[in-house]
Amino acid sequence: MRYQRKLQIAASVCLFFVSCFRFSAAESSMADPPPPHRPCSTFSQKSCEECLKNVSCLWCYTNNTCLDYPVKNLLPPASLCSLSQARWGVCWVNFEALIIAMAVVGGTILLSITVCCCWCCCRTSSSGLDRDEERLSRRREEIRQRSEERKAERKSRHDEIRKKYGLVPDSDHPYSRFENE
């Protein structure tokens, strides 16, 4: 049951693309007046190309018949024509191949979108790590600079105290402070 549903979804995507292809081909030949609408059964036992000129027709190679496409069903039922023998839109692609090809193309597109999204997310998070690392290094540098400033302030205060009490030697001699007493 699940396989049938997936097959129907894939077929609907395929039919959409084929109808787009048919629509673009019809636009390119707009100079030709459209042929009068005839029932699909009138093209039976002729050729696939003649049958598929009408978008609402389905060609079945099993008995070379041109049938009205079963609009109520997404895929033509096996009782009408097997998928490997059914043609719609173009004669050189059967429904099975069309469904498989469109599933592969759709899967590839979804996979590439997923890979691109993951790559962008990883790239954003890694740049976020770089920003965090940069922020931490700036903070460390600020802390180091403040520490050096405090150290220089302490040294200058200690030097002032030494001068005040005459503990700073005036000469090179370490005992010069004792000579004045």
* 99 vs 14: CA distance, rounded Å: 6
Asked whether residue 66 is assigned to any structural domain, the reply reads yes
Q: What is the pLDDT of residue 19?
A: 64
pLDDT string in tens for the chain (181-residue length): 555 665 566 666 666 666 665 555 545 555 555 555 678 878 787 888 888 888 888 888 888 888 888 877 778 888 888 888 888 888 888 888 888 888 999 999 999 999 998 888 877 666 666 777 888 999 999 999 999 999 999 999 999 988 888 887 555 555 555 555 5
What was the pLDDT predicted at 147? 96
| Residues 113-157 pLDDT 10s | 999 988 888 776 666 667 778 889 999 999 999 999 999 999 999
Is 76 among the domain residues?
A: yes
Write down how long the chain is: 181
Q: What is the pLDDT of residue 108?
A: 96
**DSSP summary character for residue 173:** -
Query: What gap in Å lies between CA 123 and CA 80, rounded to an integer?
Result: 53
Of 62, 118, 72, the C-alpha closest to 95 is 62
Let me know if residue 158 belongs to a domain.
Answer: no
Label the pairing between strands 57-60 and 65-68. Answer: antiparallel
pLDDT score at 177? 54
pLDDT at 170: 56
Residue 108 in any domain: the answer is no
Whether residue 6 is contained in a domain is answered as no
Is 61 contained in some domain?
Answer: yes
Q: Which of 51, 47, 58, 104 is nearest to 82 (CA)?
A: 58
- Domain span at 46: 37-93
pLDDT of residue 134: 86
Token output for 76? 């033509």
Q: Is 17 within the bounds of a domain? A: no
Nearest partner of 63 among 50, 75, 49, 80, judged by Cα = 80
How many domains is the chain partitioned into structurally?
Answer: 1
